[in-house]
A and B are shown apart, each in its own frame.
Chain A
C-alpha cells in the first residue's frame, strides 16, 4: 500500500429533509481512506448508513438529500462543485454495483446491448468497438463473449450478477462500490462472485468497497474493514486486527453475534436497537447497547482515534487504554 490513497472521504454528512421541519441525519461524519487495489469491507446493521455513504459518493442521492464533507479522488475534491464536478467521475472513475443489480437488467433487451448502451452513453466506445469491449468485459467476469446475445432471463442469478459487475467496469473505474453483491445468492454462487471480485481487484488494481452486513464475507475477502454504527465509522483497521483485538465493543459484539462453522462458543445477540437518527444524540450512540459503559460514555461523543497500526476506534475505553500505555 504505497502512495497517496485513491479515495479519501472526510467528515461526510448526509441529511434527508423529511418535510414539516423534520430531518434525518443518516451519515454523521463518516471517513474512509482507500488505497489503490485495496479491498475494504464496510460493515454494519441495516440503517447504519452504509448504502447512503455509497450513494453520496456516486452523487445519486434523492433530491431531498443534502451532503457535506470532502470526497477526494486521487486528491481532487469531487464533491466541492456539486453535480458539475462529480459527473465526469461517476462511472468513469468511481462505479457501483447496486444491491439487487442482477435483477435490474431490462428483460426485453439483450445483455450485450445493455452493456454497449452504457459505454456509448459515457462515450467509452461505440459500434463495433463497443461490442468488442463488451465481449472482453464479459470474459473478464467469467462469461463467454458470445453470450452477449442472450437475454437476462437466460442467465442464472450468478451470471446476471457477473454481468452487472461487467457493466460497472465498462468505463475502467479506479474504485468499485459493491453493495451487498452476494446477498440473494446461494453460498456456492456467493463464493464464485467473491472470488471474481478478489481476482479483478488484484488483476486491475481496482479498489473495492464491499458493503455488507455479513462479517465473515469481509473476513474472507477484504484486507481492511470499517465498522459503521448510527452514521459513523466506529472502528477501522486491518481485518485481522479487528478480529483478533477489536477495540470498539460494537465490533467485538458483532463478531460474537455471528454464527460460525468452527464456533464452539455460543452466539450472543446485541441487546436493544440502533438509535433513531432524526434527533441529535448526546454521548456515544452505542452506549445504550454497550456492555462496558462508564460515565463519560453518555456525556461525550468519542472521536475516531488511533489505537494501533492503521487501526482507529471511536470509543472512550480504547482511547483511555492507549493514553495509559507508556509511549
Chain B
C-alpha cells in the first residue's frame, strides 16, 4: 500500500433528514434532507497538509466528521490506509481509529477541566489498551514533548485552567499524537487562539507533516491555508469547486466563487487595497440546492447554460475547477 494515499474519500455524501413535525408526518409531507456533503472526493498523502476551505455551512466540518466516522455517510467511501471505514461496525472500527485522530477547534471546550494533563493524554492509551503503566507514562511524556510542551514534567500535573489557550491546544494535539496516528484531522485548530500564538500551533502541525503525518485541516481562513497547506480544496454548498496546489489556487483562482472569496480576504499590507468582489445574497439553504451549477444564482458570469449543467472538477491551468465557463 505504499503508493496509495493515506486518506482517500470517494463520492462522499452526508445528508441529514429535517424533522417534519407531527403535522408534517400526518400529512405525509415529503421528507426533506439537508445535503451537507453532496458528493466530494479527496485524498491526503503521508507527509501532506491539505486544507479544506469554505464559509460556514459549506460542509467542511461534516466532511471531517465523516472521515472520523463520527457519523455514517449516506453514500461513498472513506479509505484510511486502503481500508474503507464507512461500512465498518464500531468494533471493527476500533483499530482503525488509532490511525486517524482529530483535534477540535476549541481547546477551552475539548479538554475536561477536572483532568490533569497526564490523565487527558493517557486516556486514549487506556481506551485502546496500549502499553503497561510505565510504558504509558513514557508515551505520554513523548507525546507532550512532540507537541512542544517541553519539558513534559512541567505540564503533566497541571489542570487546563492553569494553561494558556495555546498550551491547551498543544495538550489536545498531544492526546491525538499519543496513539501515533498516520492521519490527523484538524478542525479550525487555531481560530479560537490569539494571533500571537497561532503561528506556533501551525508550525507544530507543519513539523508533524514533515515527519510524515498526513493532515487534513479544516479552516475558514484562506490566509492560513495559503501559508501552511500543500493543497487547498475550496468547498461551496457541499461540493468541492476548486482544488490544487495552494499557491496555484490562490495565485490563479479559476472558479468565480474562489475568485470572489480571495478578493474579500483582508490583506496585511495597507497599500494593497483592492475592490472586494462582494457576492450578492447569501449562500442558499442546503435543503434547496439550486439546479445545475449550485453557484449560478450568485455567480457574476452565470447564464442559462449554468442552470442546466451540474459541473464536475475538470483540469484547468495546473489545477482543477468545477465550472463550465472555463
Please give the residue numbers on chain A whose beta carbons come within 8 Å of chain B beta carbons, in ascending order: 45-46, 156, 158, 186-188, 190-192, 194-195, 213-217, 219-221, 239-240, 243, 253-255, 257-263, 266-270, 273
Question: Which B residues are CB-close (under 8 A) to A158?
Answer: 282
A-B contact pairs, 18 of them (CB 8 A): A46-B194, A158-B282, A191-B276, A214-B266, A216-B267, A219-B267, A220-B273, A240-B270, A243-B269, A243-B270, A255-B268, A258-B268, A261-B265, A263-B223, A263-B226, A267-B203, A269-B199, A270-B197
- Point out which of B195, B227, B265, B269 has the most chain A C-beta atoms below 10 A from its C-beta: B195
**Which 8 A-B residue pairings sit nearest by Cβ, starting from the closest?**
A269-B199, A216-B266, A191-B264, A269-B200, A270-B196, A259-B223, A219-B270, A186-B55
Question: Which B residues are CB-close (under 8 A) to A215?
Answer: 195, 268
Are A269 and B223 within 8 A (Cβ)? Answer: no
Are A187 and B226 within 8 A (Cβ)? Answer: no
Starting from the known contacts A190-B266, A216-B266, A261-B262, 7 additional A-B residue pairs (CB-CB under 8 Å) come to: A158-B282, A188-B264, A253-B196, A260-B223, A262-B268, A263-B268, A273-B164
On chain B, the number of residues with a Cβ less than 8 Å from chain A's Cβ atoms is: 38
Are A187 and B220 within 8 A (Cβ)? Answer: yes
Report the bound CA distance from A305 to B75 in whole Å: 64
Are B226 and A261 within 8 A (Cβ)? Answer: yes
Question: Which B residues are CB-close (under 8 A) to A263?
Answer: 223, 226-227, 268
A220 to chain B, nearest CB (A): 4
Report the bound CA distance from A174 to B248 in whole Å: 45
Are A188 and B268 within 8 A (Cβ)? Answer: no
B304 to chain A, nearest CB (A): 25
Contact of A266 among B164, B227, B264, B267 (CB under 8 A): B227
Q: A261-B226, A263-B227, A267-B227 are in contact. Are A243 and B264 (CB under 8 A)?
A: no
Are B226 and A258 within 8 A (Cβ)? Answer: no
Question: Which A residues are CB-close (under 8 A) to B262?
Answer: 261
Report the bound CA distance from A262 to B194 in whole Å: 21
A225 nearest in chain B by CB position: B270
Q: Is B289 an interface residue (CB 8 A)?
A: no
Report the bound CA distance from A45 to B197 in whole Å: 10
Q: Is B218 an interface residue (CB 8 A)?
A: no
